[in-house]
Amino acid sequence: MPKPIYVLNGPNLNLLGTRQPHIYGADSLDDIRRRCEARAAALGHTVVFRQSNKEGELVDWLNEAATAASAVVLNPAAYGHTSVALYDAIKAMQTPVVECHLSNPMAREAFRHHSYVSMAAVGTVSGFGARSYELALDAAAGLAAV
Ligand code: DQA
């Protein structure tokens, strides 16, 4: 069994299900975790699924993933638009990172059009709601170091 794929979630994603469902959908983060576990199992992988509202905790988890994960799916949420620390953490690791967003930030407010994470990730999946996570997992499994 390969090392797990880490699925890391940033600020306010704990509120999914009730947070602006017209933008982010009706699935809770727990629903998304279950979808990720099922998708990963179908791909022969396991997931470590976490969420934090704290930038430093996400940095710690990326540092950990550098040795403990075969690949990372990262929804940095708002920190994608602001965090040089996340950019540096991704640049410091060999493990592939796939950026993931429920909504399509490029179709939204101008302040969402820049992503530090996009500058460091292998690629980005956005705009497909909870399905973005499954598509990002497909990509991550394809890139996973064994
Ligand atoms: C998000 C998009 C971000 O712009 C926003 O700050 C989020 C969620 C998404 O999944 O669509 O919190 O990452």
36-85: pLDDT as tens digits: 999 999 999 999 999 999 999 999 999 999 999 999 999 999 999 999 99
State which residues form the domain around 139: 5-143
- Answer yes or no: pTM beyond 0.85: yes
Q: How many Cβ atoms from other residues are within 10 Å of residue 54's Cβ?
A: 11
> What residue owns the CA closest to ligand 1's atom 8?
77
What share of the chain has pLDDT > 90, as a percent? 97
Domain count for the chain:
1
Q: What's the average model confidence in pLDDT over 18-33? A: 95
Strand 47-51 vs strand 71-75: parallel, antiparallel, or unpaired? unpaired
Helix (H) or strand (E) holding 61: helix 55-68
In whole angstroms, give the CA distance from residue 23 to residue 92. Answer: 32
What CATH number does the domain containing 118 carry?
Answer: 3.40.50.9100
| Residues in Cβ contact with 102 at an 8 Å cutoff, skipping those fewer than 6 apart | 16, 23, 24, 25, 75, 126, 128, 129, 130, 132
pLDDT grade for 146, boundaries at 50, 70 and 90: low
CB-ligand 1 contact for 25 (6 Å cutoff): no
Looking from the CA of residue 76, the nearest atom of ligand 1 is 13
Q: For ligand 1, what atom is nearest to the CA of residue 108?
A: 4
Rounded CA-CA distance 104/84 in Å is: 21
Residue 70's alpha-carbon distances to 24, 88, 106, 109, 136, in angstroms, are: 28, 19, 29, 34, 14
Q: What span, in angstroms and rounded, lies between the C-alpha atoms of 133 and 20?
A: 18
